[in-house]
Structure 1
Amino acid sequence: MNQTSSVRQKLRQLLIILLPILVTQLALYAMSFFDTTMAGHVSPDDLAGVAIGVSIWTPVNTGLSGILLALTPIISQLAGAKEKDKVPFKVIQGILLAVFLSIVIIVCGIFLLDPILDHMDLESHVRDVARRFLIAIFIGIIPLFVYNVLRCFIDALGQTRVSMMITLCALPINVGLNYLLIFGKFGFPRLGGVGAGYASAITYWCIVFIAVFVIHRMKPFADYHIFKRLYGVSFAAWKEQLKIGVPIGFSIFFETSIFAAVTLLMSEFDTATIAAHQSALNFASFLYMVPLSIAMALTIAVGFEVGAKRLKDAKTYSYLGISIAVIMGMLCAIGLFIFNEQVASIYTNDSHVLQLTKHFLIYAIFFQLSDAVAAPIQGALRGYKDVNITFILAFVSYWIIGLPSGIVLAKFTSFGAFGYWIGLISGLAFGAVCLSVRLARVQKKDIELQQVI
């Protein structure tokens, strides 16, 4: 990143960071998108099985990956403060932490996967697809988490275009493997929805090897000599990352796990309803990549300016990002309303599932508007390393307000399964308002403190 002096320069700088992140996030999520849609064209049972598997894996993946996101503001602030020599140690510690977290997940999965699935009232084939899909995903957990760390390093330097190119290389690999393994083409076994799990795991191994090669050989990453020296585990460095990362991870976990919880609660409904819910949620999550990408760009830009003690510039970046997110959120909501049936038809040929998906997608419109405010504010706060209040607000918004109100509406009104979505929308709206207040207070406090100093 470079220092900027005008709003126009800041907008240009933010877009240079943002657009590759957006392409990267859309490409990463496209893997899950293709997993779901391609499985849906095998059978409703395969779609439902992958839906259950994704719903269990997503909160675990995003929550623990969120812990690793602590590296972005750490490296970004070091870059702003021109303390380049400290970067390699931080990155290696992030990699070691990623491996440790991966092993913890695998061990927990061995003991908890069957009990979790046994607690769900699933049809036998749906349960089998979900279980085998998750076992396949386990193969790629370590490379996925290590790649997340390497990507944080790349992005924190403002080189988001490089992450974009790595991910774009991986996407056709994933889609091609899906085609071969889900449908059994060219002599490969026909694995149905389970094939999507193996395809994703193999793809994760590919992208981590590409990232290591790029960091080792390409400038400016090669100038940091990340892999030149071996460092032992530093619990002090882990503590620093966990102090920032755990609140981030739990904030993301509370958000993603609430959707998983709703999917699990929907096991009381029929397979068509589960499939429709997951299809609509999959597309809503795909659109969420827009505000999420803006949030990640703001973490980099705000962190860089905070590290350089340019707090007014950090504030300007924050509100530029929020404005872009709101505009994009409105455009996505309008597009989803107009092309409701076309979007639903992407996921299924079954007429009953199609009608249910169209209904769920109407509620997804309101997700876009709340996320357009909440997500970029969370990204800006991470740039300030202010993460604890966000963690508390996420818990209250989703688990104290969103889920209980959703359960009441689903079980005691005529809304049925749609009641869960209405409850979640209420929690999202509450969180967006509270986060807006928090950002204003943090910015005011930091600027006042700088003036005193």
Structure 2
Amino acid sequence: MKPTTTIREKYKQFLVILLPILITQITLSAITFFDTNMSGKSSSVDLAGVAIGSSLWIPVQVGLSGILMGLTPIVSQLIGNNQKNKVSYQVVQALWLSLILAVMVLILGGLVISPILDAMSLESNVRKIAHQFLLGISIGVIPLFGYMVLRSLIDALGETRTSMTITLMSLPINITLNYLLIFGKFGFPRLGGAGAGIASGITYWCIFFIAIWFVHRQQQFAVFGIFHKFYKISLKAWKELLKIGLPIGFSVFFETAVFAAVTLLMSQFNTATIAAHQAALNFATTLYMIPLSICMTLTILVGFEKGAGRTKDARQYALIGIGTAVALSLLTAVVLIFASRQVAFLYSDENHIIELIQHFLVYAIFFQISDAIATPTQGVLRGYKDVTPAFIIAFISFWVIGLPVGYLLATYTTLGADGYWIGLIAGLAIGAILLLRRLMYIQKRFKIVHDNLPQL
């Protein structure tokens, strides 16, 4: 990164950082997208089962991955302080921690998954697919967490294009395995939704080994000798990593867990409603990768400018990022209005499912517009290191407002499943307003502090 003077230079730098992050995030979400999409092509039962399984798995995945992402600022600081010789030690400690976390997930999952599924009163076929999907994906838990550590190292060194390349390589692997295992092609067994879980698990192993190859063989990473020396577990190193990573992990977990909660609560409705709801939510989640990537980009750029004391430039980047997110959300809203049936057809061939998906996609329009404001604003606040109030606002908007309002509307009115969407939209809209107010306060405070600094 470098200082910029004009809006054009800023937008160019914004795009240079954004595009690799966006491609990486979209590709990662596309694995879940194709699991859901291709399962839906098998049957609505497979779609519903994968929907339930994914809703239980994703919050755990992103929450624990967020903890491991705490390695990124640690490595960045070591590089900035010219302490490259300590990078290998920190990465190996993070890999040890990722292994322990993965084993804990496998043990706890084995103990609680069946009781959770039993408590949901699912149709027997849907429950069976959900359970088999989770068993299949569990084979990839250890390599997935290991990959998140290596990706944190790669991104900390500014090599986001490498992360993008590795992740892009995973997509055709996942699609091919889905095709073979879901539909039973070329002599493979037809496993339906369960095959999607196994395909994802194998894909995680593939990207882990690809990342190891890059880190071990490519010069920009090989100089650190990550795998050249064995290090014992250090609780002190883990404490440092967890101190940074836990707030990130819990923030992401609570934000994603609300959607899992809605899916679980939706189990009271029929299989067609569950399948259609999850399809619409899956598409909205794919669109969410745009504001999420802008969020990550703004954290980098605003933090860079704020650290250099250029408060005006930090504000300009915030406007560029949030403005771009809103503009893109309006564009996708137009696409959804005129192409909702085509989008729904991506998930199912059954007419009644397609019509239900189209119905829920109307709510997805309003949902992603609010997301386009709230998520990038969080990224700006993180750039200012103002993370706790933003987390509290996000928690309140989803868990204090969104979910309770949605439950009340779904349970005590004739809205049914629509009530959950309305509740989440209301919560997210209120959260977006509160986050913007917080951002204006923080920008004003830093401007006052900067203006009162002695001029050299």
TM-score range, shorter-chain basis?
over 0.9
* In 2, Cα distance between equivalents of 1:247 and 1:266: 29
Cross-structure match for 2:174: 174
CA contact (8 A) 1:133 1:198 kept: yes
SS at 1:139 equivalent: helix
Cross-structure match for 1:356: 356
Equivalent position amino acid for 2:200 in 1: S
Cross-structure match for 1:29: 29
* In 2, Cα distance between equivalents of 1:75 and 1:316: 28
Cross-structure match for 1:119: 119
Cross-structure match for 2:388: 388
Displacement of 1:99:
1.9
Cross-structure match for 1:53: 53
* In 2, Cα distance between equivalents of 1:89 and 1:19: 31
Equivalent position amino acid for 1:383 in 2: G
CA contact (8 A) 1:174 1:200 kept: yes
* In 2, Cα distance between equivalents of 1:6 and 1:82: 31
Cross-structure match for 1:263: 263
CA contact (8 A) 1:73 1:303 kept: no
Structure 1 window deviating more from structure 2 (130-139 vs 307-316): it is 307-316
Displacement of 1:331:
1.2
Equivalent position amino acid for 1:200 in 2: S
Give a deviation string over 1:134-162, Cα, whole Å, max 9, x none.
01111111111121122122223332211
Displacement of 1:16:
1.1
Cross-structure match for 1:417: 417
Query: Aligned pair in 2 of structure 1 residues 43, 435: CA closer, same or farther (>3 Å)?
Result: same
Query: Aligned pair in 2 of structure 1 residues 94, 318: CA closer, same or farther (>3 Å)?
Result: farther
Displacement of 1:171:
0.6
Cross-structure match for 2:133: 133
* In 1, Cα distance between equivalents of 2:292 and 2:396: 20
Give a deviation string over 1:218-237, Cα, whole Å, max 9, x none.
24323343334444333343
Cross-structure match for 1:165: 165
Cross-structure match for 2:65: 65
* In 2, Cα distance between equivalents of 1:303 and 1:156: 14
Cross-structure match for 1:109: 109
* In 1, Cα distance between equivalents of 2:72 and 2:39: 34
* In 1, Cα distance between equivalents of 2:400 and 2:313: 36
Give a deviation string over 1:195-230, Cα, whole Å, max 9, x none.
010100111011111112112222432334333444
* In 1, Cα distance between equivalents of 2:234 and 2:6: 41
Displacement of 1:84:
4.6
Give a deviation string over 1:79-120, Cα, whole Å, max 9, x none.
566665554444333323222221221111011011100101
Cross-structure match for 2:41: 41
Cross-structure match for 1:206: 206
Structure 1 window deviating more from structure 2 (430-439 vs 180-189): it is 430-439
SS at 1:226 equivalent: coil
Structure 1 unaligned regions, length at least 5:
none
Displacement of 1:384:
3.8
Query: Aligned pair in 2 of structure 1 residues 224, 11: CA closer, same or farther (>3 Å)?
Result: farther
Give a deviation string over 1:391-419, Cα, whole Å, max 9, x none.
22222111110011001111122211001
Structure 1 window deviating more from structure 2 (276-285 vs 377-386): it is 377-386
Query: Aligned pair in 2 of structure 1 residues 323, 163: CA closer, same or farther (>3 Å)?
Result: same
* In 2, Cα distance between equivalents of 1:304 and 1:47: 44
* In 2, Cα distance between equivalents of 1:386 and 1:80: 22
Cross-structure match for 1:316: 316
* In 1, Cα distance between equivalents of 2:30 and 2:359: 23
SS at 1:53 equivalent: helix
Q: Percent identity?
A: 59
CA contact (8 A) 1:155 1:300 kept: no
* In 2, Cα distance between equivalents of 1:298 and 1:280: 28
* In 2, Cα distance between equivalents of 1:301 and 1:84: 24
CA contact (8 A) 1:273 1:356 kept: yes
Displacement of 1:264:
0.9
Structure 1 window deviating more from structure 2 (4-13 vs 389-398): it is 4-13
Structural RMSD (CA):
2.2
Cross-structure match for 1:215: 215
* In 1, Cα distance between equivalents of 2:408 and 2:210: 48
Equivalent position amino acid for 1:175 in 2: I
CA contact (8 A) 1:250 1:391 kept: no
Instruction: Figure out how many residues of one structure are paired with residues of the other and give that number.
Output: 453
Matched, 1:369 2:385: no
Displacement of 1:130:
0.3
Structure 2 unaligned regions, length at least 5:
none
CA contact (8 A) 1:78 1:307 kept: no
CA contact (8 A) 1:300 1:383 kept: yes
TM-score normalised by the chain length of structure 2: 0.93
* In 2, Cα distance between equivalents of 1:86 and 1:441: 39
Equivalent position amino acid for 2:167 in 1: T
Query: Aligned pair in 2 of structure 1 residues 209, 428: CA closer, same or farther (>3 Å)?
Result: same
The aligned runs of 1:152-301 (5 Å cut-off) are 152-301=152-301
Query: Aligned pair in 2 of structure 1 residues 363, 199: CA closer, same or farther (>3 Å)?
Result: same
* In 2, Cα distance between equivalents of 1:328 and 1:115: 42
Query: Aligned pair in 2 of structure 1 residues 210, 408: CA closer, same or farther (>3 Å)?
Result: same
SS at 1:397 equivalent: helix
Structure 1 window deviating more from structure 2 (240-249 vs 414-423): it is 240-249
